[in-house]
Amino acid sequence: MRYGGLKTDDPVEQITTDVLVIGSGLAGLLSALEAYRTGLRVLILGKFAIGMGTNTSLANGAFTASNSHFPPEDHLQATLNSGKNLNHCGLVTTLIKKGPKAIEKLKDYGAPLREKGMGYITERPEKSSQLPGVLLIKPLVERLKNSSVTLLPGLIIFDLIVEEGEIRGAFGFSKDGKPFLIQSRSVVLCTGGAGAIYRRNDNQKSILGDGYALALRAGLPLFDLEFVQFYPFVLGEPRLSSFLLYPPYPKEVRFFSEKGENLIEKFNLQDDLNRAIVVRRDHLSLDLYKVTQNGDAFFDLTQVPKEKWDDYPLNFLKKSKFPFCERAFLVSPAVHFFMGGVEINEKGATSIPGLFAAGEVVWGIHGANRLGGNALTECAVFGILSGQSAAEYAVEKEREQKPFHLFSEDLMKKWERKMRSYLRKKRGTFDRPIDLFRDLKDLAWRYAGPVREEETLREGLDRLVSIEKRVDRIYPATLKDLFKKRELENGILLLKAILNGSLLRTESRGSFFRQDFPDQDDTNWLKNTCYQLEKGELEITHRLLKR
């Protein structure tokens, strides 16, 4: 039977591999390359073209890591200071220790990195306006294309397959609606964060929390989802996309409020926006958000000499039709990064045997707020470690001579029933998924934004129930509807966690600010929030900080 472009009678296609990597940002690319070095069969998936549609491709290409000018102990202290001592110290130690080696491995793979300041930056050809993130991943993607790794773009994973307590693979649909069952000895989850569930964000549109939802439904706990980082300087012009204004910022920049206040002076930035964006991102975002609640804030680059507009990042702005060099423009904070996520050990392993994770989907390193430049370093260090660990696990399973054939007939029938449940037609009224997505994004920004308090958090939860009921009535008449419905379900699950976790944490810490509890409370809240699904219901507990 077929309807609306969806097929309910197609057989489920089966694929077998040794290592499956879900996600193709920096962490995923490195995981696949490291697993491939062992000679195993490796499959890497992406929602779009491999490497593209990821936050890595939008990145400014900066890695915070110890170098000849920045000792490891300084990196450690800066990371803990930013995280307000809510970091997992074992993972932080691994990041600090293995960061420089990960940089060297990236260089070996062809990434154009050079030492600068508190780490390394992606080098650009002179006068190039191409984003550093694209230059960073290009040589890695080329390496994969020239290897025996199987690249499968355009596949959307709906579920991880866990049987008898072990990972067995994943289930999903291709962009043309064909269902896939992928059997794998090990799986690496590198799906990124969830910034795009917010109306104001600087993420790729595809970064919608897929990995968090996959992990929760597979039985894994998630931690500290209430900690969401906001980036202060994001374009706020209504007719333009909300992209991040990349540093370094020229010394001639003016930053002022609608009332004419000099915000560099007001925020006590000592004329150094570039330093503040690395080490004071949380305070700066909060201060600017408060200003924008009573009026607009502006960046003004009109005093920048003409010759500087030929250099990055100003030459990137020149590609826009907006006259950035001729008049001031609106800026305001937007969601940038999620500190919470999946728990792993120092080798990238989760608590489900055979399942590993790396990148923004992982919790622990950043604590209550991420130090600028640590995101790409985390992707590099734990992408490499997870790929190596997943390969080792797959080899060990092979040595144990575990059966590794196509899925059993019973399992196939189970997932065929699952496929039909996703495509089932429902009676009654329904909303367009695109309209519901707009409502969900608005709700996230309004009720789980930079400033939170009990009354609005409870109101947000009430409104979320209404959206959830409307999503449940969606009849996926097209493939686009099918994928949007799943994304909506994922976003609702994640936002329900963020709102409830925010309601329970009665303090302010790092990127997290409760207007009704404005002080940091180490006596009662030096602990982590744990989110888990029990019989389909979200349960939230707390545990003492893991050292």
The verdict on 342 and 324 lying in the same domain is no
Q: Write the pLDDT tens digit of every residue in 396-450.
A: 988 886 666 667 888 888 888 888 888 766 555 567 788 899 999 999 999 999 9
Angstrom distance (rounded) from CA 485 to CA 508: 34
Angstrom distance (rounded) from CA 488 to CA 28: 24
In a domain, 405, yes or no: no
In the predicted structure, residue 477 carries a pLDDT above the cut 90: no
In the predicted structure, residue 332 carries a pLDDT above the cut 80: yes
**Structural domain ending residue among the three candidates 334, 362, 378:** 334
3-state class (DSSP) for residue 63: strand
The verdict on 263 and 294 lying in the same domain is yes
pTM to 2 decimal places: 0.95
Instruction: Give me the percent of the chain exceeding a pLDDT of 70.
Output: 95
Which among 281-295, 314-328, 486-500 has the top mean pLDDT?
Answer: 486-500
Q: CA dist 528 to 94, 259, 501, 547, Å? A: 20, 41, 10, 11
The verdict on 50 and 159 lying in the same domain is yes
The verdict on 157 and 249 lying in the same domain is no
Per-residue pLDDT, 402:
63
In the predicted structure, residue 478 carries a pLDDT above the cut 90: no
Burial class (CB in 10 A: 0-12, 13-18, 19+), 386: buried
The verdict on 393 and 430 lying in the same domain is no
The verdict on 256 and 189 lying in the same domain is no
Which residue is it, tokens 């290897």? 147
Which residue is it, tokens 């709102």? 499
Q: CA dist 358 to 30, 293, 387, Å? A: 10, 36, 9
Among the listed ranges 87-91, 245-249, 347-351, 367-371, which one has the minimum average pLDDT value?
245-249
Query: What CATH number should be reported for the domain holding residue 87?
Result: 3.50.50.60
The verdict on 317 and 350 lying in the same domain is no
Q: CA dist 56 to 66, 184, 417, Å? A: 21, 26, 36
Per-residue pLDDT, 69:
94
Which among 122-136, 275-289, 359-373 has the top mean pLDDT?
Answer: 359-373
| Number of helical (H) and strand (E) elements in the chain, helices listed first | 15, 20
Angstrom distance (rounded) from CA 139 to CA 130: 14
Among the listed ranges 33-37, 105-109, 279-283, 515-519, which one has the minimum average pLDDT value?
279-283
In the predicted structure, residue 59 carries a pLDDT above the cut 80: yes
Q: CA dist 193 to 111, 288, 410, 508, Å? A: 23, 23, 34, 22
Do the strands 119-122 and 62-64 form a parallel or antiparallel pair, or are they unpaired?
antiparallel
Q: In what order do the strands lie in the sheet with 297-300?
A: 228-235, 329-338, 297-300, 254-257
